[in-house]
Amino acid sequence: MTILRRTLLAGAAAVTALGMATAAGAQDDKTKVGFVFVGPVGDGGWTYEHNQGRLAVEEEFGDQVETVFVENVAEGPDSERVMTQMALNGADLIFTTSFGYMDPTINVAKKFPDVKFEHATGYKTAENVSTYSARFYEGRAIQGLIAGSMTESNIIGYIGSFPIPEVIRGINSAYIQAKKVNPDVQFKIVWVYTWFDPAKEADAAKVLIEQGADVVLQHTDSTAPQAAAQTAGGVYTFGQASDMYEYAPEPRISSIIDNWAPYYIERTKAVMDGTWESVSRWDGIAEGMVGIGEITSAVPDDVKAAALEMKDKIASGEMHPFTGPLKKQDGSDWLAEGETADDGTLAGMNFYVEGIEGEIPQ
């Protein structure tokens, strides 16, 4: 069936490309901005927020820009074709919004030196390739604090997507804070190897709940784990990438909200003005790229106050989620007392901190 599926995807890309070509022919003086999405824009999570950013660009510049997007693009070679097609159709700036688009973005960028590329959450740059990401781990620290305080079974479930630094960073950050407020806390981590598959995400949430977790953190894109937690009852969750407020006040008790709009507007402006340069942007709560969704009434006031205090401290730079003394999982020293992690280590993080059980898949 692989061959057939490829044909299907090729067909999908061709149909989209056709639409884009027609649009491009009509107006050539516009700045054209392309977006490559890993899931559907209606996923209610990650891709939804990137699409909100796209809409904000349209809103900001009106007639001066034209945006195009292709959703449900598989990571890997298929994405390369979609990007190539976008570039051929006259895109001036292309945002590729998933980690797995890293090498394809670099490859396509080589072929189109005049097109600017922006790759989300990766670490490879080139003259015409920037990277951008948000310091989600700052939000994860706050989640960890709330989760550690809320759990009664002392088991926190964590649905991981792929074992890449971004996800591992989130697990570590949440664990460190959860452990601080609740020394008995245990993390159960399940890897589902997908960013978006509601049925599988729901299964993973159910399994974690069956095995005793009463707080479930997710690093996947759909709201399915929220629905599973709601059905199970007595389980708390956090909105991931988007507010997921439709599941408040329970199970969703807070959320991490990605706000890409300011960055997308800034970079589009830079292309229009001809001032675009390759950068590696990594913004957090302070810059507003990471937002913390409303902490609901299910959370006791003192926990809520502590969480908001932590948010303010992170925003002001007073606190860093990775501050020593910290050891790695194998017991070796990582950060000395008072020392904070540097961005290089964080960007390539491939180890758990001390206390987390299990191995990271290699």
Partner 1 sequence: MDLSQINPILLVASLMVAATPILLAAIGELVVERAGVLNLGVEGMMITGAICGFAVAVETGSPWLGFLAAAIGGAALSFLFVILTQFALANQVASGLALTLFGLGLSSLLGQSYVGIKPPPTPDLHIPLLSDIPILGPVVFSHDLILYLGIAIVAGVWALLKFTRAGLIMRAVGENHDAAHALGYKVVRIRVMAILFGGACAGLGGAYISLVRVPQWTEGMTAGVGWIALALVVFASWKPWRVLLGAYLFGGITVLQLNLQAAGVAIPVEYLAMSPYVITIVVLVILSADKSRAPGSLGRIFHATS
Q: Measuring CA to CA, which residue among 251, 223, 224, 246 is closest to residue 236?
A: 251
For residue 177, give Cα distances in angstroms to 119, 141, 189: 30, 6, 16
Query: Alpha helices of 93-238 — where are they, by DSSP H?
Result: 102-111, 136-150, 165-181, 198-210, 224-232
Token pair for residue 345? 């280590």
68 binds partner 1 (CB under 8 A): no
154 binds partner 1 (CB under 8 A): no
230 binds partner 1 (CB under 8 A): yes
From 49-57, 61-69, 112-120, 243-251, give the range in contact with partner 1 by CB under 8 A.
243-251
From 116-124, 193-201, 292-300, 339-347, give the range in contact with partner 1 by CB under 8 A.
193-201
Nearer to partner 1, 76 or 300 (CB): 76
C-alpha angle with apex 305: 299 to 311, nearest 5 degrees? Answer: 105
d(CA 354, CA 176): 9
41 binds partner 1 (CB under 8 A): yes
* Residue 318 beta carbon to partner 1: minimum distance, rounded to whole angstroms: 36
- The count of chain residues that interact with partner 1, using the rule CB under 8 A, is 53
How many C-beta atoms lie closer than 10 Å to residue 22's C-beta? 10
Contact partners, residue 125, CB within 8 Å, separation at least 6: 131, 278, 280
Contact criterion met (CB below 8 Å) for 245 and 239: yes
Q: Which residue from 34, 100, 148, 157 is in contact with partner 1, where contact means CB under 8 A?
A: 157
* Residue 155 beta carbon to partner 1: minimum distance, rounded to whole angstroms: 9
* Helix (H) or strand (E) run with residue 218 in it: strand 215-218
Amino acid at position 135, single letter: R
Binding mask of the shown chain, residues 198 to 217, with x at each position contacting partner 1 by CB under 8 A:
xxx-xxx-xxx-xxx-----
* Residue 246 beta carbon to partner 1: minimum distance, rounded to whole angstroms: 3
Q: Measuring CA to CA, which residue among 228, 231, 98, 248 is closest to residue 157?
A: 228
* Residue 252 beta carbon to partner 1: minimum distance, rounded to whole angstroms: 11
Q: Which residue from 23, 31, 40, 126 is in contact with partner 1, where contact means CB under 8 A?
A: 40
* Residue 317 beta carbon to partner 1: minimum distance, rounded to whole angstroms: 36
Asked if omega into 113 is within 30° of 0 (cis), the reply is no
52 binds partner 1 (CB under 8 A): no
For residue 188, give Cα distances in angstroms to 86, 126, 218, 236, 301: 41, 38, 12, 15, 27
* Residue 153 beta carbon to partner 1: minimum distance, rounded to whole angstroms: 11
* Residue 40 beta carbon to partner 1: minimum distance, rounded to whole angstroms: 4
* Residue 319 beta carbon to partner 1: minimum distance, rounded to whole angstroms: 31
d(CA 24, CA 22): 5
Q: Which residue from 236, 247, 264, 322 is in contact with partner 1, where contact means CB under 8 A?
A: 247
Nearer to partner 1, 72 or 84 (CB): 72
Chain residues binding partner 1 by CB under 8 A are 1, 4-5, 7-8, 11-12, 15, 39-44, 72, 157, 163, 188-194, 196-200, 202-204, 206-208, 210-212, 222-224, 227-228, 230-231, 244, 246-247, 357-359, 361-362
